[in-house]
Amino acid sequence: MRTKPKPAARSGTRRVLKTLDRVLSKAGVGSRTEARSWIGTGRVRVNGRLIQTPDHWVDIERDKVTLDGKPVLSQERVYLLLYKPKGYITTYKDPEGRPTVYDLLSGLNEYVFPVGRLDQDTSGLLLVTNDAQFAERLTNPAYKVAKTYLVKSATRLSDEQLDQLRRGVTLKDGPTRPAEVRRVRDSGAHTFFEISITEGRNRQVRRMVEAIESKVLKLVRVAIASIEIGGLGIGKYRALTQAEVEQLSGKGTK
């Protein structure tokens, strides 16, 4: 189905337009396929009017979009730091019934979405927001925002293996950037180390460790840039401070 042409902006005005299904998916409430289903079944309204056309154009700065009566677009920005437990996934709903991070955010009145992903078996720091520009800056590799992980490997790693990670390794989707790596300790047959990367490929740290002939037994994201998970309890979240938001947005480095 072809999308209808964008409505022309009035002289002297700037409009930020997206199709209704994309507005819902970008807001983190579900995939575009799910959004089209919700629109078709009459669960979505724009400015109080029932809309059942997924390619209906929405002005995200001016229009009010609701799903089941709950606002999707909000003028109030939300920035949260969540300690994601192992076993939780970052999608809005899971067909298999697995727990999602949204189960931990049930007290929120705003729709939010995760900044990037942590796979089901990875725990640690996950940022959650409704600010798409903020999320773009943190997930776009061009901005080189560091994500730091604590890793427990299946084998004891040599200095040469850790140096390979520092230099970068070659994966099926190409060579990785050099990483910052610090050995924390060796315990029995395992090595615990920290690694900071500035990319966000699918399962990247796990694949990098496999590339040096080992495996990840435990993976925890402990920091994004200089924002650390600190003493936050597993499954708990807190609001980012204004200073933290500015720092992650690139405004606190001047």
Question: Is 203 exposed, middle or buried (CB count within 10 Å of its CB: 0-12, 13-18, 19+)?
Answer: middle
Same fold, 17-71 and 146-224: no
Q: Which CATH number among 3.40.190.10, 3.30.70.360, 3.40.50.970, 3.30.70.1560 corresponds to the domain 146-224?
A: 3.30.70.1560
- pLDDT-derived band at 28 (thresholds 50, 70, 90) equals low
- Predicted pLDDT at 135: 87
Q: What would be the CATH architecture of the domain defined by 17-71?
A: Roll (3.10)
Split at pLDDT 50, 70, 90, the class of 107 is: confident
Say if pTM beats, i.e. exceeds, 0.85: no
Judged by phi (left if over 0) then psi (alpha if -120 to 50, else beta), residue 211 lies in: alpha
Domain ranges of the chain: 17-71, 79-141+228-248, 146-224
Model pLDDT, residue 221: 97
Cite the active site residues. Answer: 119
Q: Which residue has the higher pLDDT, 160 or 200?
A: 160
Asked whether the predicted pLDDT for residue 14 surpasses 60, the reply is no
pLDDT at 48 over 60: yes
Token pair recorded at residue 211: 């590339």
pLDDT band at residue 244, thresholds of 50, 70 and 90? Answer: very high
Q: In what order do the strands lie in the sheet with 44-46?
A: 49-50, 44-46, 65-67, 70-71
Close Cβ partners of 194 (under 8 Å, ≥ 6 residues apart): 148, 149, 150, 151, 180, 181, 182, 184, 222
Residue 159 has pLDDT above 70, yes or no: yes
Mean pLDDT of 83-110: 88
Mean pLDDT of the chain: 89
CATH of the domain spanning 79-141+228-248, picked from 2.40.50.1040, 3.40.50.300, 3.30.70.580, 3.30.360.10: 3.30.70.580
In which band, very low, low, confident or very high, does the pLDDT at 92 lie, cut at 50, 70 and 90? confident
Tens-digit pLDDT profile for residues 187-243: 999 999 999 999 989 999 999 999 999 999 999 999 999 999 999 999 999 999 999
